[in-house]
Amino acid sequence: MSFPQRRLRRLRRTPTLRRLVAETRVAVDDLVAPLFVREGIDEPQPIRSLPGVVQHTRDSLRKEVRELVSLGIPAAILFGVPARKDAQGSAAWDPDGIVQVALGDLRDEVGDDLVLITDLCLDEYTDHGHCGVLDGAGQVDNDATLELYAEVALAQAGAGADIVAPSGMMDGQVAAIRDALDDAGHHTVAILAYAAKFASALYGPFRDAVDVTIADGGDRRGYQQDPANAREALEEIRLDVLEGADMVMVKPAVPYLDVICRARAEIDLPIAAYHVSGEYSMIKAAGANGWIDATAVALEQLLAIRRAGADLVLTYFAREIAEELAD
Ligand code: PBG
């Protein structure tokens, strides 16, 4: 007996058929736009290694979020570039610090039409560029840093953040922040944990965006994860869920699709993926050279991230892709 030849191409014949059977989609509803706001500037500043992305003034940030809302983008994550840095990173929890005042502006501008997420870390604010405070030996002191993260969480929640997103990879950071928020009555403020964050060379352009140089040629390998380790990433994710994370994140995205996929198989909370600065810049650079179609490659990568199992994607392409999808 012979079997009829299986013909899988039948369902690929027309765009409408393909649309009908598509398993995964990229929708504007899943995009989170990263935004930079810099203290003490009068004009938005371009970022050399992130073409099309700027350090905003308070005013240009207001305008940008109005446009994001009109495009249907549901959320933004805010990063601050302070005018002065110190050893502790105290501008991070100063009620008059740049992110706190920008949060007030944005709430005033868009109400609840945009979910306001704040990156919760110290590296933009410390003069040595590490994500925490240093001990006498120049190492990042985990538990002393947790106390400062709690202060930052309170400042951000007090200024109106809907979601705080700790990105420093200190042990116990989610529990410490949850405790601090709850003790202060901020029960409704959610935590998006940068749970599996790898020590990646793809963060280079971001450090231009926030004017961070790690002192003495240092790196973050003592706290961010080794790119070699996927099982350990799952441990990080499980721990953050136990500590009270409302959502977990894998970062970067495309080189770590295996981690997203394994996390999806095990975790039923929303999973976010951060398509990071270097992932954006590589596509932009190749596009500018005419070597690839940048928009098509961006869409393909975002689709891959969704296919791997991420619910939301933080991406510098958010606005561009929202415009593309609206056409
Ligand atoms: C730390 C933080 C970083 C990024 C997001 N939060 C930088 C780092 O860990 O060095 C990188 C994001 C990107 O590359 O787009 N506050």
Is there a contact between 294 and 286 (Cβ–Cβ < 8 Å)?
yes
Ligand 1 atom 6: residue of nearest CA: 167
The pLDDT score that the predictor gives to residue 192 is 98
Minimum-distance ligand 1 atom for the alpha carbon of 123:
16
What's the angle, vertex CA 237, arms to CA 232 and CA 239, rounded to 5? 95
Binding site membership of 225 for ligand 1 (Cβ less than 6 Å): no
What's the angle, vertex CA 320, arms to CA 247 and CA 15, rounded to 5? 95
The pLDDT score that the predictor gives to residue 1 is 64
Ligand 1 atom 5: residue of nearest CA: 167
Binding site membership of 200 for ligand 1 (Cβ less than 6 Å): no
- Residue 96: count of CB within 10 angstroms of its CB: 10
Catalytic residue, chosen from 63, 85, 251, 284, is 251
Best of 55, 123, 221 for a ligand 1 pocket test (most atoms within 8 Å of beta carbon): 123
* Whole-angstrom distance, CA of residue 175 vs CA of residue 179: 6
Binding site membership of 315 for ligand 1 (Cβ less than 6 Å): no
DSSP-derived secondary structure for 220-262? STTTSBPTT-SHHHHHHHHHHHHTT-SEEEEESSGGGHHHHHH
Q: How far, in Å, is the centroid of ligand 1 from the Cα of 203?
A: 6
Which residues, 6+ apart, have CB-to-CB distance to 200 below 8 Å? Answer: 224, 227, 251, 252, 255, 276, 278
Instruction: Indicate if 197 belongs to the active site.
Output: yes
Minimum-distance ligand 1 atom for the alpha carbon of 204:
14
Which residues, 6+ apart, have CB-to-CB distance to 46 below 8 Å? Answer: 54
Ligand 1 atom 1: residue of nearest CA: 167
* Whole-angstrom distance, CA of residue 250 vs CA of residue 321: 21
DSSP-derived secondary structure for 206-219? HHHHTT---GGG--
For the whole prediction, is pTM greater than 0.85? yes
Residue written as tokens 């350990």?
A: 232
Minimum-distance ligand 1 atom for the alpha carbon of 276:
15
* Whole-angstrom distance, CA of residue 150 vs CA of residue 152: 5
Residue written as tokens 């905003």?
A: 56
The pLDDT score that the predictor gives to residue 216 is 87
Query: Which backbone phi and psi does 115 adopt, to 5 degrees?
Result: -75, 125
CA neighbor of 130 nearest in space, from 9, 32, 212: 212
* Whole-angstrom distance, CA of residue 58 vs CA of residue 70: 19
Catalytic residue, chosen from 63, 85, 197, 284, is 197
Instruction: Indicate if 251 belongs to the active site.
Output: yes
The rounded average pLDDT for each run of 10 residues, N- to C-terminus, in the chain (327 residues) is 86 98 98 98 97 98 98 98 95 97 97 98 95 93 97 98 97 98 98 98 94 88 96 98 98 98 98 98 98 98 98 98 94
Q: How far, in Å, is the centroid of ligand 1 from the Cα of 82?
A: 16
Q: How far, in Å, is the centroid of ligand 1 from the Cα of 49?
A: 14
Q: How far, in Å, is the centroid of ligand 1 from the Cα of 190?
A: 20
Provide the residue type at 118 as one letter: T
Domains of the chain plus CATH, in order, are: 25-326 (3.20.20.70)
Ligand 1 atom 8: residue of nearest CA: 203
Is there a contact between 77 and 114 (Cβ–Cβ < 8 Å)?
no
Q: How far, in Å, is the centroid of ligand 1 from the Cα of 323?
A: 25
Query: Which backbone phi and psi does 33 adopt, to 5 degrees?
Result: -95, 120
Binding site membership of 316 for ligand 1 (Cβ less than 6 Å): no
